[in-house]
Amino acid sequence: MGFFMRLLLSHLMVILLAVAGVFVSVELIAPGFYRAHVEEMVQTLGPAGAGLRGHLEHGLRSTLTRALWASLPLSVLVAAIAAYVSSRRVVGSVETLRRRSRALAQGDYRQRVQATGRDELADLAHHFNVLAAALERVEQGRTELIGNVAHELRAPLTALRGYADAIDDHVLPPEHAARAISREVAAMERLVRDLSLVSRVEAGQMELHLEPVPLEALLQAVRERFTLAFEEKDVDLHIPSGNEDPPLPDLHADQERTLQVLTNILGNALRHTPPGGQVGLEVRRLDTRAAITVSDTGPGIAANHLPRLFERFYRVDPARSRLEAGSGVGLTIARGLAEAMGGTLTAESRPGQGSAFTLTLPLHLP
């Protein structure tokens, strides 16, 4: 027996029980009401009305019973129609969910259910749509990841095949091609390493050593790592000493991972800031957190790119060469590391006015 018939029969059973309950209740309760009415009539008629008491009670009782039986067909019909309509509505919604969920299970993540009303079925339809949208995003991300990885590997593999053919055809001496082959292999190793790190970050499987990190030592490490590169490109780099007044407490973070995040941000700033420009690093306290902001005077980022800036392999300029732009997962790793340490990484930018990336991390407070 189908779900519709079971639901309809359960409604009809409820109707029958309700009708039986009405009949029993009326038969038990009604005499108490019409007997009081009969006594009033007997007193009004006087001695002549005493002999009519039984006749009046019988007449009222039979009239009430006939009225109940007369109204029964119409009441049952109306209730049955209402039960049918209600059952059909519920079953229709459940059937729609069944069909859409089956299609969803078969891989069609575009399925959606129209959610109308404010009952449990509407709530179920809403959550189905949320689930379908989440699965669609996951599938789209999986497809894009496969395509992006294939695209990233295509360039070094093509170069390796070219060098191999050149060596085989005696066009290029092996010792000369060895350096180029090593360079391409290193690029592939870097991509694999970055993808492995992204997967661990997104799965929450990063091994972190959270400890007090002196801000002055962190800024000094950043200064030593980037001063020469900025001087070679003629970009002014301003990094504070870390001796603030009053001094900021130590960060509660992983020093190596924090330095990795700042390296990624400053590397991007150096890459996109033209010669003669400026890159500044500012540190300020936000209650129980420290905010480290890296701002540059580069070309800036359009507003439509900002929401996707931290997605894997997303590039503001798709035409930028892979060698110049890196593996395309640096910002994804940076944000994942920041969040794993209990912090955040956000970006603000306007075209022509540069960009600013802000890393917030908890302070080490007693």
pLDDT digits (tens, 9 = 90+) for 274-310: 999 999 999 998 889 999 999 999 898 888 888 888 8
Does position 236 have pLDDT exceeding 70, yes or no? yes
Whole-angstrom CA distances from 365 to 249, 253, 288, 290, 338 are 7, 12, 8, 12, 18
Average pLDDT, the chain: 80
Residue position matching structure tokens 């990190």:
213
Question: What is the mean predicted confidence (pLDDT) over 85-113?
Answer: 80
Is 242 in a helix, a strand, or coil? coil
Does position 234 have pLDDT exceeding 80, yes or no? yes
Yes or no: say if 57 and 42 are a contact pair by the CB < 8 Å rule: no
More confident residue, 305 or 52: 305
* Dihedral sign of CA atoms 91, 94, 100, 104 in order: negative
Question: What is the mean predicted confidence (pLDDT) over 58-63?
Answer: 71
Q: What percent of the chain has pLDDT over 70?
A: 83
Q: 29-50, pLDDT tens digit by residue?
A: 766 666 666 666 666 666 655 5
Residue position matching structure tokens 């930028």:
320
**Residue-wise DSSP of 345-360:** EEEEE-TTS-EEEEEE
Q: Residue 291 is inside which H or E element, if any?
A: strand 289-296
Six-digit token pair at 8? 């309809």
236-238 and 211-213 strand pairing: unpaired
pLDDT of residue 64: 72
Whole-angstrom CA distances from 15 to 77, 82, 91, 123, 247 are 10, 10, 19, 28, 77
Domains and CATH numbers, the chain: 3-108 (no CATH), 123-202 (1.10.287.130), 211-362 (3.30.565.10)
**Whether the bond into 246 is cis, omega within 30 of 0:** yes
pTM (global) more than 0.85: no
* Dihedral sign of CA atoms 274, 278, 279, 285 in order: negative
Does position 20 have pLDDT exceeding 70, yes or no? yes
Six-digit token pair at 65? 């019973």
Question: What is the mean predicted confidence (pLDDT) over 7-20?
Answer: 75
Residue type, 68: L
Does position 262 have pLDDT exceeding 90, yes or no? yes
∠105-109-115 over CA atoms, to 5°? 95
pLDDT of residue 33: 66
* CB contact burial 239-270 (16+ within 10 A = b; e otherwise): beebeeeeebbbbbbbbebbbbbbbbbbebbb
pLDDT of residue 331: 87
344-349 and 211-213 strand pairing: unpaired
pLDDT of residue 86: 75
Q: How many CB atoms are closer than 10 A to CB 131?
A: 14
Does position 347 have pLDDT exceeding 80, yes or no? yes
pLDDT of residue 322: 47
Does position 351 have pLDDT exceeding 70, yes or no? yes
CA 92 – CA 114 distance, rounded (Å): 12
